[in-house]
Amino acid sequence: MSALNSCVFVIGVIVAVVSGSLANAQAQTDRTVEQYTCKEVMHEGGEARSVAIAFLHGYLLGKSGSSKFSVETLQKQTDAFINYCLDNPKDSAEQAMAKLKK
CATH number for 15: 1.10.890.10
Domain limits for position 78: 3-100
CA-CA distance, 57 to 101, in Å (whole number)?
9
- Alpha-carbon gap, residue 26 to 91, rounded angstroms: 22
- Residue 19 CA to residue 51 CA, distance in Å, equals 10
Tell me the pLDDT of the chain (102 aa) as tens digits. 445 444 544 555 455 545 555 555 555 678 789 999 999 999 998 899 999 999 999 999 999 998 899 999 999 999 999 999 999 999 999 999 999 988
Helix or strand or coil: residue 36? coil
Q: What is the pTM of this model?
A: 0.70
Which pLDDT belongs to residue 12? 54
**How many structural domains compose the chain?**
1
Torsions phi, psi of 87, nearest 5? -85, -20
